[in-house]
């Protein structure tokens, strides 16, 4: 070990602030369990049958001659956590051949995975067998498999492969076969550093430095503030996945500029490309913040995963707020309620999901916006599976002095504090409701600290233990005591309605972690492809059309005095149900003063040019250009309950 490595080692004693619990320690309940069951029954348990050409037995990651790039490993990266979180033997059995083949494929020099390329066949990625990139995805699923089972073959497997990387990368750079690994090196680095913390093998730090040196320089790109201010400068998924690299590397560098660069990058992303949901306009390449630009489903699940990893490493709950925003707004809206169909590109203002090119960067022969299995591009078909299971896995962490709940959803968890088994049940209708109740059940009385995140939007949190109020300060409230069976903790996070400003000064209304949108009644129409289109995009897809009016602006008071001008309505029966995520299940709605803007009309299947706020409001008797109609009360629902929506509204003067 050289002096430099020694210095690095001394910085690395602490490791991530929060530690993951073994997969299966956190079980979903309530609406989250329903979501995971729908996911299992809809697509995740059946992708090998629904998409046999890529995920069937001829896949290269099962030893076949078929597809050998990212898509098979993507599916397994979501299937493994779902299987162990639900403790579902059939799902585990489905993942096992992939795990076993991966382990068995390792060669003497440490290389693993498909090692032979084949000529191109339409729809299959059979070349690039040695590319680093699909191996990064395979490392992710092997890592989770180890976290679920502790299979003792996995650590030697990782060590052997990382030796191979250390020896091979100097000649065959991360970008040797394709450029994807250069942008996504953070995920490779993440597992190398995890293994370093576990084994103390100092040479892993040399590999970490090598990976970092060959990674796309995100720290520099974010700090210089050029890339995110220009359209077309980076691919949407490379950005969502890659932006964690400076934070992962910060564990080695200790340089706060790595952390600051990511925060700067996320600020610029919001300002120049952002939507209220935390995602951004990038329908392949970065494409600005017009709410009719698209956001790819892969980008949402990768953004969530980046936030989860950065949260654990730094303990900075900014990343938890961000994670929740993407998860509870974008994700339910982009996948059908039966979890069989998804949309490649989602719009923040989306009034049709129609066949056509719209104004996206790439056309996908008109399939980018419709719902289907393979429509758009089928990366998302395989990658969407990681979203909800990994969110579930990140509801609780182990901290240095106890347990931490940083993201809220109904669940039950189990962990050991020393030799004491602790079970905690988390009962809540969050994010629809404001109260989270924890019932603590240790096998015997045990002292530890319970850490609870106070979301950044919450100004007046209230915390009680066994009914008695205790001090509660953000960003993380901590309660240290000797916990006994039957102890309860209640956290109330009052949600007020607030507004935020976006493209053309448009306004969005938010309450707690949820963005609210005009939910437009939907008409789904099933369509079919045949011939070459069916081979490429699947034989079934759905267009969705509006059955109601959408061209509303919000009255000024709704935006400037949201807390008083907007009425919050709760439906208790819906709130206590197991499914929230459609228009007729929305448990909380907002009643908002608004008026129609007759000039704001459909263009190319999208909302036409967004009128710049403020739009003059002259009332019903003056229909001159850009004036608005009479005042109405419109109902907004959680964004995640919508398929068709307006979430960025013009603001009307009064």
Where do contacts with Zn ion occur on this chain (CB under 5 A)? 298, 379-380
Contacts for 213 with CB less than 8 Å, ≥ 6 apart: none
Q: How far is the CB of 304 from Zn ion (least distance, A)?
A: 14
Task: Please state the separation of Cα 411 from the chain's center in Å.
Answer: 19
Q: How far apart are CA 123 and CA 51, in angstroms?
A: 11
Q: How far apart are CA 246 and CA 307, in angstroms?
A: 13
Q: Are 515 and 639 in contact (CB under 8 A)?
A: yes
Return the number of the residue (25 or 273) whose C-beta is nearest Zn ion: 273
Q: How far is the CB of 561 from Zn ion (least distance, A)?
A: 41
Return the number of the residue (42 or 587) whose C-beta is nearest Zn ion: 42
Task: Give the E-state strand segments of 400-494 in sequence order.
Answer: 402-405, 411-417, 420-428, 435-442, 446-453, 462-465, 468-470, 476-483, 487-492
Return the number of the residue (314 or 347) whose C-beta is nearest Zn ion: 347
Return the number of the residue (299 or 404) whose C-beta is nearest Zn ion: 299
Return the number of the residue (70 or 648) whose C-beta is nearest Zn ion: 70
Neighbours of 582 (CB within 10 A): 18
Q: How far is the CB of 296 from Zn ion (least distance, A)?
A: 5
Return the number of the residue (261 or 285) whose C-beta is nearest Zn ion: 285
Neighbours of 352 (CB within 10 A): 24
Q: How far apart are CA 289 and CA 347, in angstroms?
A: 10
Q: How far is the CB of 236 from Zn ion (least distance, A)?
A: 9
Q: How far is the CB of 297 from Zn ion (least distance, A)?
A: 6
Burial of residue 329 (CB within 10 Å: 0-12, 13-18, 19+) is buried
Q: How far apart are CA 545 and CA 605, in angstroms?
A: 10
For residue 503, give the 3-state DSSP assignment. helix
Q: How far is the CB of 215 from Zn ion (least distance, A)?
A: 21
Return the number of the residue (236 or 641) whose C-beta is nearest Zn ion: 236
Q: How many CA atoms lie within 13 A of 464 on its CB side?
A: 8
Q: How far is the CB of 482 from Zn ion (least distance, A)?
A: 49
Q: Are 291 and 648 in contact (CB under 8 A)?
A: yes
Q: How far apart are CA 337 and CA 341, in angstroms?
A: 8
Return the number of the residue (277 or 627) whose C-beta is nearest Zn ion: 277
Return the number of the residue (384 or 463) whose C-beta is nearest Zn ion: 384
Distance, first Cα to last Cα, the chain? 71
Q: In sequence order, what are the beta bridge partners of 450?
A: 403, 479
Return the number of the residue (124 or 615) whose C-beta is nearest Zn ion: 124
Return the number of the residue (378 or 513) whose C-beta is nearest Zn ion: 378
Q: Which two tokens stand for residue 328?
A: 């509870």
Return the number of the residue (503 or 537) whose C-beta is nearest Zn ion: 537
Lookup result for tokens 């430099």: 4
**Given the DSSP bridges, would you call strands 507-511 and 462-465 parallel, antiparallel or unpaired?**
unpaired
Whole-angstrom CA distances from 169 to 156, 182, 211, 513 are: 20, 12, 8, 42
Whole-angstrom CA distances from 554 to 14, 309, 499, 640 are: 50, 38, 11, 20
Q: Are 219 and 257 in contact (CB under 8 A)?
A: yes
Neighbours of 56 (CB within 10 A): 17
Q: How far is the CB of 298 from Zn ion (least distance, A)?
A: 3
Q: How far apart are CA 395 and CA 411, in angstroms?
A: 8
Return the number of the residue (379 or 535) whose C-beta is nearest Zn ion: 379
Q: In sequence order, what are the beta bridge partners of 569?
A: 589
Q: How far is the CB of 376 from Zn ion (least distance, A)?
A: 7
Q: How far is the CB of 237 from Zn ion (least distance, A)?
A: 6
Q: How far is the CB of 618 from Zn ion (least distance, A)?
A: 45
Q: How far is the CB of 301 from Zn ion (least distance, A)?
A: 9
∠ CA 49-55-57 to the nearest 5 degrees? Answer: 85
Q: Are 133 and 185 in contact (CB under 8 A)?
A: no
CA dihedral 238, 240, 241, 247 (to 10 degrees): 120
Q: How far is the CB of 299 from Zn ion (least distance, A)?
A: 7
Q: Which residue is nearest to Zn ion (CB)?
A: 298
Return the number of the residue (174 or 240) whose C-beta is nearest Zn ion: 240
Q: How far is the CB of 474 from Zn ion (least distance, A)?
A: 35
Return the number of the residue (368 or 442) whose C-beta is nearest Zn ion: 368
Whole-angstrom CA distances from 330 to 37, 79, 286, 369, 586 are: 19, 21, 18, 14, 15
Q: How far is the CB of 405 from Zn ion (least distance, A)?
A: 30
Lookup result for tokens 């240095």: 400
């Amino acid at each position: 070990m050289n002096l430099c490595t020694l210095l690095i080692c001394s910085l690395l004693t602490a490791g991530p602030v929060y530690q993951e619990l073994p997969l299966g320690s956190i079980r979903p309940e309530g609406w989250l369990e329903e979501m995971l069951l729908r996911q299992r029954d809809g697509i995740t348990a059946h992708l090998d049958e629904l998409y046999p050409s890529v995920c069937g037995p001829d896949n290269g990651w099962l030893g076949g001659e078929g597809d050998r790039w990212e898509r098979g490993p993507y599916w397994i990266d979501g299937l493994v956590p779902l299987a162990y979180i639900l403790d579902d033997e059939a799902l585990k059995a489905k993942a096992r051949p992939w795990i076993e083949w991966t382990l068995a494929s390792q060669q003497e020099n440490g290389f693993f995975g498909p090692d032979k390329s084949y000529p191109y066949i339409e729809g299959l990625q059979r070349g690039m067998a040695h590319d680093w990139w699909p191996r990064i995805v395979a490392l992710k699923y092997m890592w989770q498999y180890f976290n679920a089972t502790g299979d003792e073959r996995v650590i030697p497997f990782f060590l052997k492969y990382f030796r191979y990387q250390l020896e091979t990368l100097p000649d065959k750079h991360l970008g040797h076969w394709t450029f994807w690994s250069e942008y996504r090196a953070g995920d490779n680095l993440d597992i190398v550093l995890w293994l370093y913390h576990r084994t103390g093998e100092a040479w892993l730090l040399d590999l970490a430095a090598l990976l970092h040196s060959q990674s796309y320089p995100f720290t520099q790109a974010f700090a210089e503030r050029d890339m995110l201010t220009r359209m077309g400068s980076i691919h949407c998924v490379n950005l969502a996945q890659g932006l964690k690299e400076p934070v992962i590397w910060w564990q080695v560098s200790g340089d706060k500029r790595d952390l600051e660069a990511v925060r700067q990058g996320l600020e610029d992303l919001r300002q120049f490309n952002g939507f209220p949901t935390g995602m951004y306009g990038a329908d392949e390449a970065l494409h600005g913040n017009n709410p009719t630009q698209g956001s790819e489903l892969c980008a949402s699940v990768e953004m969530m995963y980046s936030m989860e990893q950065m949260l654990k490493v730094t303990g900075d709950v900014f990343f938890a707020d961000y994670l929740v925003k993407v998860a509870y707004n974008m994700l339910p809206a982009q996948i059908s309620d039966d979890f069989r169909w998804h949309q490649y590109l989602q719009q923040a203002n989306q009034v049709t999901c129609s066949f056509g090119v719209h104004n996206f960067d790439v056309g996908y022969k008109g399939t980018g916006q419709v719902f289907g299995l393979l429509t758009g591009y089928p990366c998302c078909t395989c990658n969407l599976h990681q979203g909800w299971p990994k969110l579930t896995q990140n509801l609780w962490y182990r901290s240095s002095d106890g347990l931490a709940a940083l993201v809220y959803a109904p669940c039950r968890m189990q962990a050991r504090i020393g030799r004491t088994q602790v079970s905690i049940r988390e009962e809540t209708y969050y994010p629809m409701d404001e109260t989270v109740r924890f019932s603590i059940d240790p096998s015997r009385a045990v002292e530890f600290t319970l850490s609870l995140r106070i979301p950044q939007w919450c100004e007046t949190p209230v915390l009680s233990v066994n009914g008695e109020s205790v001090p509660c300060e953000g960003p993380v409230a901590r309660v240290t005591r000797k916990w006994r069976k039957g102890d309860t903790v209640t956290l109330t996070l009052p949600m007020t309605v607030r507004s935020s400003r976006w493209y053309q000064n448009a306004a969005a209304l938010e309450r707690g972690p949820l963005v609210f949108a005009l939910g437009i009644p939907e008409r789904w129409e099933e369509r079919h492809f045949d011939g070459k289109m069916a081979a490429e995009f699947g034989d079934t897809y759905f267009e969705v059309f509006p059955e109601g009016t959408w061209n509303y602006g919000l009255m000024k008071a709704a935006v400037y005095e949201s807390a008083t001008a907007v009425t919050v309505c709760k439906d208790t029966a819906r709130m206590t149900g197991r499914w929230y995520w459609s228009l007729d299940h929305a448990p909380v709605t907002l009643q908002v003063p608004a008026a129609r803007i007759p000039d704001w009309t459909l263009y190319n299947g999208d909302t036409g040019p967004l009128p710049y706020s403020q739009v003059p409001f002259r009332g019903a008797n003056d229909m001159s250009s850009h004036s608005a109609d009479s005042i109405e009360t419109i109902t907004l629902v959680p964004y995640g309950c919508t398929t068709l929506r307006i979430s960025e509204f013009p603001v009307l003067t009064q």
